[in-house]
Amino acid sequence: MDRTTVPLLWFAAPAGFVEVPLGGTAEERLDRLADSFAVLMPDAPLEQRLGSAVNAELLLEAQLSQGLTYLANCLHRTEEGEVTHGVFSIFVTAAQVDGPLTFATRTAQRLAAERPHAEVGVLQLPYADAAVATEDRVVRVPGALYGLTADSESLVRQIEIMIPHPAGRHVVLVVFSTEHPEHWAGWAVVVGAALRNLSHLPPRPAEPERTDLAVAGSAMSGSAVAGSAMAGSAVAGSAMAGSAMAATEDRIRRAFG
């Protein structure tokens, strides 16, 4: 896609983020996934590892078609020394945003009606107001992904943060999920740090170098909010002040009391 027709994002991943490469052809991604499963499942038969890689690539292709621009596995060490895991992703697709200044309020009202079990509100970031939805979900884990015959279920806590682009033609969706909700307070710090490092503006010279993300979003209805794939685009802002950072973390913590 012509990079001149879509906005750019700059993002500096916090410590503990291990980026999943999204570039290249499907064959190249499949080769990388096969190598990863060889490390994760060294004792599994080759056919099982290859099958897992194929299923993982199919899931990744579906997310890419929904506007996925960044994906990372996140590792966080608790005060007790336990290492917990989460997944952080950024989705960006084209959408007509009517009234960027009121987007967060209108979106939060819609989400509250559509998802009564979610904690929904408005998150006041330094660069824009964002609609935020947090909820616990039971998700189905395809057994084929791990070479198993039966599917399983997993309880995850997920937060979705939806931020309009100031030009009004895109919205970014930041999604974080973890199977360790008991450590949500610690993850709030991690998510807050990630939000600080996402911007539609180039980094200042004194700021850390950021990844230049080309946004390759497909057209999508402005009213559509589909779980972990919504319309998306760039976020205005640079460094977040300490007080604003604390407020962001507190808002995320309070999402589930």
Total Cβ atoms within 10 A of residue 28: 11
In angstroms, the Cα distances linking 222 to 170, 172, 226 are: 9, 12, 11
Q: Which two tokens stand for residue 178?
A: 């973890």
Residues whose CB falls within 8 Å of the CB of residue 236, separated by 6 or more in sequence, listed in order: 127, 128, 165, 166, 199, 200, 201
Four-residue CA torsion sign, 118, 134, 87, 68:
positive
Q: What is the pLDDT along the chain (257 residues), one digit of tens a residue?
A: 344 455 667 888 888 888 888 887 878 888 887 777 776 667 777 777 777 777 777 878 888 888 888 988 888 888 888 888 888 999 987 887 877 788 999 999 999 999 999 999 998 877 788 999 999 988 776 665 555 667 777 788 999 999 987 777 888 899 998 988 888 888 888 898 888 888 877 777 765 555 555 443 332 222 222 223 322 222 222 333 455 555 556 666 655 44
Report the chain's terminal Cα–Cα distance, integer Å. 43
Q: In b/e form, how buried is each residue of 150-186, taking b as 16+ CB within 10 angstroms?
A: eeeeeebbbbbbbbbbbebbbbbbbbbbbebbebbeb
- Nearest one of 9, 177, 183, 172 to 94, comparing CA atoms: 172
197, 88 Cβ separation under 8 angstroms: no
In the chain, where the domains are located: 3-20+70-254
Name the phi and psi angles at 103, rounded to 5.
-55, -50
The DSSP letter of residue 257 is: -
Strand partners, 171: 93, 164
In angstroms, the Cα distances linking 70 to 51, 109, 144, 223, 251 are: 24, 27, 24, 23, 24
